[in-house]
Amino acid sequence: MATSRKARSRGETAKLARSFGWLAALGVILVLAGLVGLVYTAAATLTSMILFGWLLLIGGAVGLLHAIQARGTTYFWLGLAVAALNLAAGVVVIRRPDAAAEALTMFAALLFLTGGVFRLVGSIVVRGPQFGWTLVQGAFDLLLGILVLASWPSSSKYVIGAFFSLALLFDGLGLIAAGYGGRSVVGMVSERLSDGGRARNE
């Protein structure tokens, strides 16, 4: 009975370790994709826009199904309108990814500008414990927004792709860290369990 329980425990820990290994492997793939995207930012921008368009289409189709299922309720017309907007936006983004990238780049630049101004003004007015860090963040956001707007619309060819690639890179690094950390924790736990079993047998 104890032997079968121990064998089952070893099988579960091995399965868990393999799962963390797959997680780390996925992280490596994401890191490689992020590095390639940072080298070929124009292709990464186009790819991210097409993916975004397909996500809008899928979301619109799912929303349309939900709206049809909820027909006869007050949610029907709202769900139908949102689904139609998602479908229309997905078609536009897929057919004109360059124009969609220009619009998103302009939107991102305006967000950086407004966020930088608010952080700068807030840090100067409040002067809290994080004054220096907030001031640097605000100045960086403001400078980034100005740089993106100064070279717009040509900046739209690489800004979205660079952000998308950086997101892939950092997500991949996080998955690699989680995978290796999880494998090491599982290994330590299995060693503790095996040491405890030996101590009981002695």
Q: How far apart are CA 95 and CA 25, in angstroms?
A: 34
**pLDDT tens digit string along 130-172?**
667 777 787 888 888 888 888 887 877 888 888 888 888 888 8
3-state secondary structure of 9: helix
Q: How far apart are CA 152 and CA 137, in angstroms?
A: 22
How large a percentage of the chain has pLDDT more than 70? 81
Residue 125 has pLDDT above 70, yes or no: yes
- pTM here is 0.65
Domain boundaries, the chain: 43-172
CB 63 within 8 A of CB 176: no
Are residues 41 and 161 in contact, defined by beta-carbon separation less than 8 angstroms?
A: yes
